[in-house]
Structure formats: C-alpha cells, structure tokens
Amino acid sequence: MAERKTVPTMKDVAREAGVALGTVSKVVNGLPVGEEYRTRVNEAIIKLDYRINSYAKGLKATRTNTVAVLMPNLINPFFTSLVSAIGRALAAKGCRMLVYETDSDPGMEQANVILAEQQKVDGIICLSYNQNLKVSDGVTLISIDRYFGTRIPCVASDNYGGGMLAAEKLIENGCRHLAFLRIGTKLTNEPIKRKDGFIAACEAAGIEYTLKILDDGAPFSAFGDFLGEHYHDGKLDFDGIFCVTDSMAYLIKKMITEMGLRVPEDVQIVGYDGVQMFGDLDYTCSTIVQPVQAMAETCVDMVLNPDGAKNPSLVCLPVSYAYGGTTKA
C-alpha cells in the first residue's frame, strides 16, 4: 500500500501557530483578528502547506466575480499598462480586480495569495518571482511571463519572435555588428527567449554579435564598464544595440550620449515593451511593442474559464516594431 500523505487540517494550523481554532477560522474567513495572530496563522498556513479546501469548494459554488492581480510594482509603466488592460478586461466581464504589489518578493507574493484567497477570489493573475507559489484548490492561477510547469497556464508576448524582430530591424537599418544587453531574473521565464531569437536572426543574416548578460541585482554600472571595454578610437565595436527593456534602452542611451556618441547616427538602439511617454504619447525609444491588450484579455479569458483544465499551458502573442527616435527608421 502506498504511503498516504496526511492533509493538514485547520486544527494543525492552530497547533502550529499556537492559537485557538477560532482564530484560524477568522483569519481564513477574512474577519478581524489582532495583527500578530494574523501573521502567526498565515505563517503556519504557508509552513504546513494548508489548502483551504472547504472554503475553496465553497468558491466553486458561488463565484465572487473577483480576481486578484499580483504585480512586482505599479511604478514600471509596462506593469501598469498590464494592470490597466487586465482591469478593463475584467470589468467587461462584470468582475472586480484586487491589486497587490509584491516588490518581486517571493514571500510577499505567497502572503498576498493568502490574503486574496481570504477574500474568496475566483482566480489570480500574477507576474511572479516565486516558482513555488502555492494556491488553494479551486482557485485558478494564470502566470504572465514566468513558467511554473505545464499545469499553470503562462501568457507572454512572442519573446523569441520579438528578439528576432529587434535584430532584423537593426540590420535593416544598416547595422553590421550588434550587441545584446540584458539584466534580469535567472528563473525560467519567457523573456529569456528574446536572446535566442536575437541570436538566431544575427546568425541567419551572418552578422557579428556580442552578448552582455547580468543577473538581477547586479550594478547597472557594469554595462558602463562593458561599453568602455568595447570603445576604441572614438567608436564602439558595435553600431546597434538591443536592450531587453525600454527603461534599459533609456539608460544605455544616456551612457552612450555621455561618451560623446550620437544616437541613432553612431549607434542605434532598440528596446522592448512599447512604453509611451505619459502612457499614451510618444514611444520612449524604438521598441518591440508587447501586445498588452491581447495579453490581458487572454489572461482574463483563461482565469474565468470554467473548464480551466482545457487552458493551454503557454500562449505567446504577436509583437510589433515601433519607431521611437533611437534608430534610423
């Protein structure tokens, strides 16, 4: 006989947290309890991997038309454009949106999932940095950009195609030696494919390329050192740069301008995301535009899909190129 895994009960949570059963019940049902008790109960829930089953079953019976959205922050304009589009897609289906900023912190993400579940959400859409994120049965989880395994659907832009398009546009604009610059998470994720697409397009065109890849948390000044190493006789070794985000393209353009070089005359730059000034004015740079609207609608369709098991495990949506002044066209 195979070993039967014991499913933790509310009683186990109470014992672990050192509180009365009623206190656990209050926390799980979103009722008022002292802040310290709430923290202890939530920590015990995470530790024991307690799934709020009875309540999750209740969820199935009565949908609350409420969906939680977890984002690293609401400061980065790409993230806010996603939240905006998701909120509008939810509203069009008569649903409310709870929003959480997680600061890309795995613990904060898990705590927010628990808070959201206590509010009895129908589902959660997240851009997460926690590949072990635990969600109760009956709550649908949809991931943007991050891959959590085949059971959690992931929605992303066509990052591979976007990387190809960036290289192709730089080559089309006369560049003969390209550079690829990235700073980002090491977790399995879709944006990492921007590099693969970029390399494929360079190799197809027989164009030389240089890569500089930093892990999240590395000092941005390392890119300055990189540019310095590739600067000889008043020129850079490369005449086209693909930066993995628009904000990075903005900072790299500043560095290059401070070196006395001109953008786009001496060096052309393409970013990724499609960020516009003040949200709806000029593009901040020439860029690969993510299909934010389509991504949001896909997330919402999947999170509200009553037959969630039929959701695909990965949906990549087509990107486009937009001129924004940092390339010749």
Which is closer to a copy of itself, CB of 2 or CB of 61?
61
Report helix, strand or coil for 119: coil
Vertex 30 angle, CA 26 and 32, to 5°? 65
Does 279 bind a copy of itself (CB under 8 A)? Our answer is yes
Which is closer to a copy of itself, CB of 115 or CB of 317?
115
Cα-based distances in Å from 96 to 58, 90, 120, 127, 303: 19, 7, 12, 18, 13
Does 266 bind a copy of itself (CB under 8 A)? Our answer is no
The footprint of a copy of itself on residues 304-323 (CB under 8 A) is none
The footprint of a copy of itself on residues 88-107 (CB under 8 A) is 88, 91, 94, 96-101
Which is closer to a copy of itself, CB of 53 or CB of 80?
80
By CB under 8 A, name the one of 3, 36, 233, 280 that touches a copy of itself. Answer: 280
By CB under 8 A, name the one of 277, 314, 318, 320 that touches a copy of itself. Answer: 277
Q: Cis (ω within 30 of 0) for the bond into 77?
A: no
The footprint of a copy of itself on residues 110-139 (CB under 8 A) is 115-116, 119
**How far is the C-alpha of 15 from the C-alpha of 50, rounded, in Å?**
13
**How far is the C-alpha of 195 from the C-alpha of 190, rounded, in Å?**
10
Does 177 bind a copy of itself (CB under 8 A)? Our answer is no
Which is closer to a copy of itself, CB of 6 or CB of 221?
221
Which is closer to a copy of itself, CB of 112 or CB of 197?
112
Contact of 267 with 205, CB cutoff 8 Å: no
Which is closer to a copy of itself, CB of 115 or CB of 261?
115
Does 31 bind a copy of itself (CB under 8 A)? Our answer is yes
Does 32 bind a copy of itself (CB under 8 A)? Our answer is yes
By CB under 8 A, name the one of 269, 275, 303, 304 that touches a copy of itself. Answer: 275
Report helix, strand or coil for 6: coil
Where helices occur in 93-174 by DSSP H, the ranges are 106-118, 159-172
N- to C-terminal Cα separation, the chain: 68
Q: Which of 85, 91, 13 is nearest to 53 (CA)?
A: 13
Q: Which of 100, 91, 143 is nearest to 299 (CA)?
A: 143
Footprint on this chain of a copy of itself (rule: CB under 8 A): 30-32, 35, 38, 62-66, 73-77, 80-81, 83-84, 87-88, 91, 94, 96-101, 115-116, 119, 246-247, 250-251, 275, 277-281, 284
